[in-house]
Amino acid sequence: MPRFFVDAALEAGTSFELPEPVLRHVQVLRLKEGDALTLFNGRGGEVPATLLALEKRRAVVSLAQALPLERESRLEVGLVQAVSSGEKMDFTLQKGVELGVAWFQPVLSERSVVRLSGERADKRVARWQDIVVSACEQSGRNRIPEVRPLLGYDEWLRGAQPDGARLMLSPLGKARLSALADSPRRASLLAGPEGGLSAREEAAALAAGWTPLKLGERILRTETAALAAVAALQTLWGDFA
Protein backbone atom coordinates (compact mmCIF):
# COMPACT_ATOMS: atom_id res chain seq x y z
CA MET A 1 0.00 0.00 0.00
CA PRO A 2 1.41 3.46 -0.85
CA ARG A 3 2.73 5.40 2.15
CA PHE A 4 3.24 9.15 2.27
CA PHE A 5 4.71 11.56 4.81
CA VAL A 6 2.75 14.72 5.55
CA ASP A 7 3.86 17.34 8.05
CA ALA A 8 0.43 17.97 9.53
CA ALA A 9 -1.96 16.82 12.22
CA LEU A 10 -4.03 13.84 11.06
CA GLU A 11 -7.38 13.70 12.81
CA ALA A 12 -9.50 10.58 12.47
CA GLY A 13 -12.88 10.98 10.81
CA THR A 14 -11.95 14.10 8.87
CA SER A 15 -11.03 14.83 5.26
CA PHE A 16 -7.56 16.06 4.39
CA GLU A 17 -6.20 17.75 1.28
CA LEU A 18 -2.86 16.27 0.29
CA PRO A 19 0.07 18.68 -0.10
CA GLU A 20 1.41 19.21 -3.61
CA PRO A 21 4.43 16.86 -3.39
CA VAL A 22 2.19 13.99 -2.26
CA LEU A 23 -0.37 14.87 -4.94
CA ARG A 24 2.35 14.46 -7.58
CA HIS A 25 3.27 11.04 -6.20
CA VAL A 26 -0.37 9.98 -6.20
CA GLN A 27 -0.64 11.01 -9.85
CA VAL A 28 2.58 9.21 -10.81
CA LEU A 29 1.29 6.03 -9.15
CA ARG A 30 -2.01 6.47 -11.02
CA LEU A 31 -4.10 6.00 -7.92
CA LYS A 32 -7.85 6.33 -8.33
CA GLU A 33 -10.72 7.53 -6.21
CA GLY A 34 -11.51 4.85 -3.66
CA ASP A 35 -7.93 3.57 -3.45
CA ALA A 36 -6.38 3.04 -0.04
CA LEU A 37 -3.17 4.66 1.14
CA THR A 38 -1.33 5.32 4.41
CA LEU A 39 -0.24 8.67 5.83
CA PHE A 40 2.19 9.40 8.65
CA ASN A 41 3.50 12.64 10.11
CA GLY A 42 6.73 11.45 11.70
CA ARG A 43 5.44 11.69 15.27
CA GLY A 44 4.67 8.01 15.62
CA GLY A 45 1.90 5.79 14.30
CA GLU A 46 0.24 5.91 10.91
CA VAL A 47 -3.22 6.65 9.54
CA PRO A 48 -5.12 4.57 6.97
CA ALA A 49 -6.76 6.81 4.39
CA THR A 50 -9.01 6.53 1.35
CA LEU A 51 -8.73 8.73 -1.73
CA LEU A 52 -12.02 10.64 -1.98
CA ALA A 53 -11.29 13.02 -4.84
CA LEU A 54 -8.48 13.34 -7.35
CA GLU A 55 -8.20 16.31 -9.65
CA LYS A 56 -5.36 17.86 -11.65
CA ARG A 57 -4.30 20.18 -8.84
CA ARG A 58 -6.08 18.70 -5.83
CA ALA A 59 -6.48 15.42 -3.97
CA VAL A 60 -8.59 14.80 -0.88
CA VAL A 61 -8.55 11.75 1.40
CA SER A 62 -10.67 10.61 4.31
CA LEU A 63 -8.75 9.68 7.45
CA ALA A 64 -9.51 6.58 9.52
CA GLN A 65 -8.43 5.88 13.10
CA ALA A 66 -4.69 6.16 13.65
CA LEU A 67 -2.79 2.92 14.19
CA PRO A 68 -0.20 3.08 17.02
CA LEU A 69 2.44 1.18 15.05
CA GLU A 70 6.12 1.65 15.88
CA ARG A 71 8.90 0.21 13.75
CA GLU A 72 11.94 1.77 15.43
CA SER A 73 14.83 -0.38 16.54
CA ARG A 74 15.28 -1.13 20.23
CA LEU A 75 18.88 -0.03 19.68
CA GLU A 76 19.29 3.70 18.98
CA VAL A 77 22.04 3.95 16.38
CA GLY A 78 23.44 7.32 15.30
CA LEU A 79 25.73 7.64 12.28
CA VAL A 80 28.40 10.32 12.07
CA GLN A 81 29.33 10.17 8.40
CA ALA A 82 32.14 12.16 6.80
CA VAL A 83 30.65 13.52 3.59
CA SER A 84 31.33 11.30 0.60
CA SER A 85 31.06 12.25 -3.06
CA GLY A 86 28.42 11.70 -5.73
CA GLU A 87 25.64 9.29 -4.91
CA LYS A 88 27.57 7.53 -2.14
CA MET A 89 26.25 9.85 0.56
CA ASP A 90 22.69 9.51 -0.74
CA PHE A 91 23.03 5.71 -0.72
CA THR A 92 24.37 5.70 2.84
CA LEU A 93 21.46 7.80 4.07
CA GLN A 94 18.82 5.77 2.26
CA LYS A 95 20.10 2.38 3.38
CA GLY A 96 20.87 3.70 6.85
CA VAL A 97 17.19 4.55 7.26
CA GLU A 98 16.21 1.05 6.14
CA LEU A 99 18.61 -0.45 8.69
CA GLY A 100 17.18 1.65 11.53
CA VAL A 101 19.62 4.55 11.98
CA ALA A 102 17.99 7.06 14.35
CA TRP A 103 19.96 10.19 13.38
CA PHE A 104 22.65 11.28 10.96
CA GLN A 105 25.45 13.77 11.57
CA PRO A 106 27.28 14.76 8.37
CA VAL A 107 30.78 16.13 8.90
CA LEU A 108 33.50 17.54 6.65
CA SER A 109 36.81 15.80 7.31
CA GLU A 110 40.29 16.42 5.93
CA ARG A 111 39.86 13.88 3.13
CA SER A 112 36.28 14.76 2.19
CA VAL A 113 36.23 15.43 -1.55
CA VAL A 114 33.03 17.47 -1.34
CA ARG A 115 33.37 20.95 0.18
CA LEU A 116 30.21 22.73 1.29
CA SER A 117 29.49 25.86 3.29
CA GLY A 118 26.81 28.47 3.84
CA GLU A 119 23.72 28.26 1.66
CA ARG A 120 25.09 25.33 -0.36
CA ALA A 121 25.53 23.33 2.82
CA ASP A 122 21.99 24.16 3.99
CA LYS A 123 20.53 23.11 0.63
CA ARG A 124 22.47 19.84 0.65
CA VAL A 125 21.30 19.00 4.18
CA ALA A 126 17.70 19.74 3.13
CA ARG A 127 18.13 17.39 0.17
CA TRP A 128 19.54 14.68 2.43
CA GLN A 129 16.55 15.11 4.74
CA ASP A 130 14.23 14.60 1.74
CA ILE A 131 16.08 11.37 0.93
CA VAL A 132 15.54 10.22 4.52
CA VAL A 133 11.82 11.00 4.31
CA SER A 134 11.47 9.03 1.07
CA ALA A 135 13.31 6.10 2.64
CA CYS A 136 10.88 6.19 5.59
CA GLU A 137 7.94 6.07 3.18
CA GLN A 138 9.41 3.03 1.47
CA SER A 139 10.61 1.15 4.55
CA GLY A 140 7.57 1.60 6.79
CA ARG A 141 9.17 3.81 9.42
CA ASN A 142 6.80 6.23 11.14
CA ARG A 143 9.42 8.44 12.77
CA ILE A 144 11.77 10.56 10.67
CA PRO A 145 15.48 10.37 11.51
CA GLU A 146 17.07 13.81 11.79
CA VAL A 147 19.83 14.89 9.43
CA ARG A 148 21.73 17.30 11.62
CA PRO A 149 23.43 20.48 10.33
CA LEU A 150 26.71 19.94 8.51
CA LEU A 151 29.76 20.57 10.71
CA GLY A 152 33.50 20.52 10.30
CA TYR A 153 35.08 17.46 11.87
CA ASP A 154 36.89 19.32 14.67
CA GLU A 155 33.83 21.42 15.51
CA TRP A 156 31.69 18.31 15.71
CA LEU A 157 34.17 16.41 17.87
CA ARG A 158 34.50 19.29 20.37
CA GLY A 159 30.75 19.23 20.99
CA ALA A 160 30.09 15.50 20.63
CA GLN A 161 29.05 13.76 23.83
CA PRO A 162 26.81 10.91 22.65
CA ASP A 163 25.42 8.38 25.12
CA GLY A 164 26.25 4.70 24.84
CA ALA A 165 28.95 3.03 22.78
CA ARG A 166 31.18 5.30 20.66
CA LEU A 167 32.61 3.34 17.75
CA MET A 168 35.02 4.65 15.12
CA LEU A 169 35.37 2.58 11.97
CA SER A 170 39.07 2.22 11.27
CA PRO A 171 41.17 -0.25 9.23
CA LEU A 172 43.75 0.06 12.03
CA GLY A 173 41.28 -0.82 14.76
CA LYS A 174 41.70 -3.95 16.84
CA ALA A 175 38.43 -4.02 18.81
CA ARG A 176 35.70 -6.34 17.63
CA LEU A 177 32.00 -5.96 18.36
CA SER A 178 31.88 -9.31 20.12
CA ALA A 179 34.34 -7.99 22.71
CA LEU A 180 32.44 -4.80 23.53
CA ALA A 181 30.00 -4.17 26.37
CA ASP A 182 26.84 -6.23 26.36
CA SER A 183 23.64 -4.83 24.89
CA PRO A 184 24.00 -1.03 24.92
CA ARG A 185 20.77 0.86 24.36
CA ARG A 186 22.54 3.50 22.27
CA ALA A 187 25.50 3.41 19.92
CA SER A 188 27.17 6.03 17.73
CA LEU A 189 29.23 5.13 14.66
CA LEU A 190 31.90 7.37 13.14
CA ALA A 191 32.73 6.64 9.48
CA GLY A 192 35.29 8.40 7.31
CA PRO A 193 35.02 9.49 3.66
CA GLU A 194 36.85 8.03 0.68
CA GLY A 195 40.39 7.49 1.91
CA GLY A 196 39.23 7.30 5.52
CA LEU A 197 39.90 9.64 8.41
CA SER A 198 43.38 11.12 8.68
CA ALA A 199 45.77 9.91 11.37
CA ARG A 200 45.23 13.20 13.23
CA GLU A 201 41.45 12.82 13.13
CA GLU A 202 41.61 9.24 14.36
CA ALA A 203 43.93 10.25 17.20
CA ALA A 204 41.57 13.08 18.19
CA ALA A 205 38.56 10.73 18.24
CA LEU A 206 40.54 8.19 20.26
CA ALA A 207 41.42 10.87 22.82
CA ALA A 208 37.73 11.80 23.01
CA GLY A 209 36.76 8.26 24.00
CA TRP A 210 35.88 6.67 20.66
CA THR A 211 36.81 3.01 20.21
CA PRO A 212 38.47 2.08 16.88
CA LEU A 213 36.43 -0.79 15.47
CA LYS A 214 37.75 -3.46 13.14
CA LEU A 215 35.45 -4.87 10.45
CA GLY A 216 37.27 -7.98 9.29
CA GLU A 217 40.52 -8.21 7.38
CA ARG A 218 39.50 -6.26 4.29
CA ILE A 219 39.27 -2.51 3.75
CA LEU A 220 35.67 -1.49 3.02
CA ARG A 221 34.55 1.46 0.93
CA THR A 222 32.94 4.31 2.84
CA GLU A 223 29.45 3.46 1.55
CA THR A 224 29.94 -0.17 2.64
CA ALA A 225 31.65 0.29 5.99
CA ALA A 226 28.98 2.26 7.85
CA LEU A 227 26.11 0.11 6.59
CA ALA A 228 27.94 -3.13 7.40
CA ALA A 229 28.61 -1.84 10.91
CA VAL A 230 24.97 -0.83 11.45
CA ALA A 231 23.81 -4.27 10.31
CA ALA A 232 26.30 -5.88 12.69
CA LEU A 233 25.05 -3.77 15.58
CA GLN A 234 21.47 -4.70 14.77
CA THR A 235 22.48 -8.37 14.70
CA LEU A 236 24.09 -8.23 18.13
CA TRP A 237 21.88 -5.81 20.03
CA GLY A 238 18.99 -4.59 17.89
CA ASP A 239 16.39 -5.67 15.36
CA PHE A 240 18.15 -8.83 14.21
CA ALA A 241 19.12 -10.16 17.64
Q: Please state, in angstroms and rounded to a whole number, the distance separating the CA atoms of residues 210 and 1.
A: 42
Q: What is the pLDDT of residues 185-201, one digit of tens each?
A: 899 999 999 889 999 99
pLDDT at site 217: 82
Alpha-carbon distance 2 to 50, whole Å? 11
- Categorize the per-residue pLDDT at 181 as very low, low, confident or very high, splitting at 50, 70 and 90: low
* Top-confidence residue, 166 or 180: 166
**Which residues are CB-contacts of 155 (< 8 A; sequence separation ≥ 6)?**
none
Q: Compute how many other C-beta atoms are within 10 angstroms of the C-beta atom of residue 15.
A: 13
Query: How are the residues of the chain apportioned to helix, strand and coil, as percentages rounded to the nearest 5?
Result: 30, 25, 40
User: What pLDDT is stored for residue 27 in this prediction?
Assistant: 95
Same fold yes or no, 3-63 and 76-237: no
Structural domain boundaries of the chain?
3-63, 76-237
Radius of gyration for the alpha carbons in the chain, expressed in angstroms and rounded: 20
List the beta bridge partners of residue 47.
39
What would the pLDDT profile of 10-63 be if each residue is shown by its tens digit?
Answer: 999 999 999 999 999 999 999 999 999 999 999 999 999 999 999 999 999 999
What contacts 108, CB < 8 A, 6 or more positions away? 82, 83, 114, 115, 116, 150, 151, 152, 153
Q: Does domain 3-63 have CATH number 2.40.240.20?
A: yes
In sequence order, the 6+-apart residues with CB closer than 8 A to the CB of 236 are: 177, 178
Where does residue 124 fall: left (phi above 0), alpha (psi -120 to 50 degrees), or beta otherwise? Answer: alpha
- The single-letter code of the amino acid at 169 is L
| Residue 144, C-beta contacts closer than 8 angstroms, at least 6 positions apart | 5, 42, 132, 133, 136
Q: Which CATH architecture has domain 76-237?
A: 3-Layer(aba) Sandwich (3.40)
Q: Is the pLDDT of residue 108 over 80?
A: yes
CA distance 212 to 72: 27
Q: Give the model's confidence band at 139: pLDDT under 50 very low, under 70 low, under 90 confident, else very high.
A: very high
Query: How many angstroms separate the CA atoms of 40 and 156, rounded?
Result: 32
Cβ count near 174 (within 10 Å): 10
Write out the H or E segment, with its range, that includes residue 202: helix 199-207
